[in-house]
A and B are shown apart, each in its own frame.
Chain A
Amino acid sequence: MDDSRPIFQQVADRISSDILAGTYGEEDQVPSTNEIALFHRINPATAGKGVNTLVTRGILYKRRGIGMFVATGARRILLEERQAQFVRDYVDPLVAEARAIGFTAEDALRVVGRRLGAATAAGEPRKEQS
């Protein structure tokens, strides 16, 4: 856990990443808040808050007395969210940086295209670093 973002958000992001990476499939059970709290050495309430943000977004749902499960369609929701984020988090800074170092639109697109091609050829879309 780092200081740059609230911890509950980091918890939510971590679970999201794991769902996207396929660690938890749809309808799989995710660890309990207490397990999450212990794993990250954080307060159970903070872990719970992280999990709850995912419940509100329809990514997790609760089965009373059993625990938290990945909702059907969770992957799709997450992908859509991430795609929206992609522009803001990666493309905008990329454009700014490209301008700063004097890349034309063509240069930038060519480099990005080459990279994307390489990743696809390797058969594995690059997973986001957590």
Chain B
Amino acid sequence: MSNATAEDRLVADGGGASGGRTLLAFRYYLSVPGRLLTGPGIVVVVCALSLVVGAVIVAASNAEAADVSSGLTYNQTVIWWGSIAPLAILCSAVGQGSTAMLGLGMTRRNVWWGAILYALAGAALTATTLVALIALERLTHGWFMGLSAIDIIYFGRGSLLLAWLIALGTFFGAQVVALFFTAIYLRTGAMGLTLSIVGASVLLVGALGLVIAAFSRAERDGATTTFVVGGELPGGLVPWVLGVVVLLALGGGWWIYRRASFR
């Protein structure tokens, strides 16, 4: 059946409802097999490399495995690479693929929320892989060597659910913030992107300044500050601030993207 009949059109209109077409955009991102496995793959590779490095250090320096392990718990490679590689792929998929997707009859709404859906799916897969590795690491008492390659401080070293949520938030948030800048690039071009990155850097430096000021005030007053540890909010202040930033990037990115013109 190739010619569109009236019935076909009804189906097309039904399937053309925004939700269905957003799933179509999601499928478009998935049309390159293996794309979604980048995050999990990197987590596995980083874990393996950390183990090798840890083992080499233990063997070469006669250091105690426990000491090397506690050093490894500060290792953040998995956070960086688990975030950067998938976000680079997603940003190029949106940046270079927008006109192709729109050309296939998708709307900006479809393309944007499809990308968000893809980011969420990727982050969930990556977080799940990571938590599975953490569980395995604990079960095997540090891969039978007493080494902590993946059960790092960043993920809480406690509840697996908490680790999963932290990982999900980190990997998803990183992609959303990157998509926000992609939207700026698509809407305003390279100049706008540069300016917005400069602006964001200023904000970041300002925020750091505030944190440092709060620290020093807390030291001077000898008081426990709610600003730094956020004692009054469950989980502390930092995740909440980051959560708001990600939400702003999510909505702001859409607001910017929906008005982009593709010349």
A and B touch in the complex (CB under 8 A): no
